[in-house]
Amino acid sequence: MKKEKHILIIGGGASGFFAAINAAINFPNANITILEKSNKLLSKVKVSGGGRCNVTHACFENQELIKNYPRGQKELQQVFSQFSTNDTVNWFAQRGIKLNTEQDGRMFPESNSSESIIHCFLEEAKKYNIDIHISEEVLELQSNESTIAITTNKHNYVADAVICCIGGHHQQNNYAFLKKMGHTIDELIPSLFTLNLPQSKIKELMGLSVKNGTVKVNGTKHQYSGPILITHWGLSGPAVLKLSAFAAEDFFKLNYHAGISINWTNNLNEEYIKEILSINVYAKSLVINSSMFDIPKRLWEFLVLKSDIQVTKPWNELSKKQLNKLAQTLSNDMYNMQGKTTFKEEFVTAGGINLKEINFKTMESKIIPRVFICGEVLNIDGITGGFNFQNAWSTAWIASKNALNKIS
């Protein structure tokens, strides 16, 4: 049977393949083509979760799910009502890939390898005869009366619909063809990153972590709790990464120079910490050997010395001033952030196509009819833990469902 319609997908990443496969299922009489600018397919899928691919997160209530996105919460309510985390789990299960849930809620393929997901996508693409072109960059889109003309560095195409899945980028020139057609690109700034503390000796404790601390940016409303990891650069871990995502715009304005304070006891206040510490005031044991609040021994020693308490000081010789200083250090430990480091290879960018220019019922552009936008090219980003992939799957599924419909 001759296929009369053509859907062209820009981007050979997670959302691109998901859009292409589902478009082929929804419109079996259409030709589907994927154009990938680089010479690699599904590169972010490959490195996600340390090579295991963090497919999604075990958050099945949409109202809770959207709280993990610093930008795009309102729009994602409508998106996730159409394709949810449950739908993602079922989609992969139908293709023989069971997802296992880890203690922190992240979901990975049972194989613990991103190759399972990559193999699934490539096999599905082969099954539905999807054409895949690598090293082909889209230079221009031109909207005609009923089609879209696409110019690349190699060929010219005509499509009935285009689904744009180019991912998130740091540089505006990656969005040039979309800007040329009238789309607004919100300022591109890094989202997930670790905090550099070049002047602090705490870096000497790299590898240590606390299970539940609270980290905040001084002078802002941003503070988040969770595990905190000390690295050879400074601070990382889930609490820090969440802070970096939700405070991305403030960090950018501050040029990544900011006062950071940490409560190593999670959210216990200074007065309550004093009460707990004062239980020891009659003890003859050394303060430095008496780690409390589930703080690792070496970190406790560091914090005790930072509180001007000598190595040889027993609890029963601690002055009130020293006790107060220790309580203050434990609850409000101050550092100077000077710069950031990208979180592994999993860079995420805040910014992208302005959300007011998209119809989230269909993912169709309000600026360019028959062009659909999905994934991280939108000004939507999530914290670490599978949330960015869930956005990719859901928006791509909606675009693929509506690509050849006349809904605008």
pLDDT in tens, 55-113: 999 999 999 999 999 999 999 999 999 999 999 999 999 999 999 999 999 999 999 99
Q: CA angle, 154 as apex, 151 and 160 as ends, to 5°? A: 40
Mean pLDDT within 254-265: 97
Percent pLDDT > 90 in the chain is 91
Rounded Cα gap, residues 303 and 309, in angstroms: 9
> Taking CA 103 as the corner, what is the angle to CA 98 and CA 106, rounded to the nearest 5 degrees?
50
Whether residue 407 has pLDDT greater than 50: no
218 within 8 A of 259, measured Cβ to Cβ: yes
Give the chain's mean pLDDT.
Answer: 95
Q: CA 20, CA 11: separation in Å to the nearest integer? A: 10
Residue 283's SS3 state is: coil
Whole-number pLDDT of residue 169 = 87
For residues 129-145, average pLDDT = 96
What was the pLDDT predicted at 408? 39
How high is the pLDDT of residue 135?
A: 98
Whether pLDDT at 347 is above 70? no
CB within 8 A of 333, min separation 6: which ones?
Answer: 261, 262, 263, 264, 303, 306
Q: Which residues contact 313 (CB under 8 A, 6 or more apart)?
A: 286, 287, 288, 322
Task: Kindly report, residue by residue over 212-258, the tens digit of the pLDDT.
Answer: 999 999 999 999 999 999 999 999 999 999 999 999 999 999 999 99
Residue 170 is predicted with a pLDDT of 82
Q: Sorting pLDDT into bands at 50, 70 and 90, what band is 406?
A: low
Q: Give residue 145's pLDDT.
A: 85
**pLDDT greater than 50 at residue 13:** yes
Calculate mean pLDDT across residues 322-344. Answer: 93
Backbone angles phi, psi at 33, to 5 degrees: -125, 135
286-316 per-position pLDDT tens digit:
999 999 999 999 999 999 999 999 999 999 9
Q: What is the band of 2 on the pLDDT scale with cuts at 50, 70, 90?
A: low
The pair phi, psi for residue 134, each rounded to 5°, is -100, 165
pLDDT of residue 171: 86
Nearest to 309 by CA among 338, 336, 330: 330
For residue 40, pLDDT over 90 is answered with: yes
> What is the distance between the alpha carbons of residues 314 and 284, in angstroms, rounded to a whole number?
5
**358 three-state secondary structure:** strand
Domains of the chain: which residue ranges?
5-189+346-402, 193-342
Arithmetic mean of pLDDT, 147-171: 95
Predicted model pTM: 0.90
Identify whether the C-beta of residue 338 lies closer than 8 Å to the C-beta of residue 198. yes
5-189+346-402 has which fold?
FAD/NAD(P)-binding domain (3.50.50)
Structure tokens at 334: 């101050």
**Whether the Cβ atoms of residue 372 and residue 162 lie closer than 8 Å to each other:** yes
Indicate if the pLDDT at residue 18 is higher than 60. yes
Q: Return the higher-pLDDT residue of 171 and 74.
A: 74
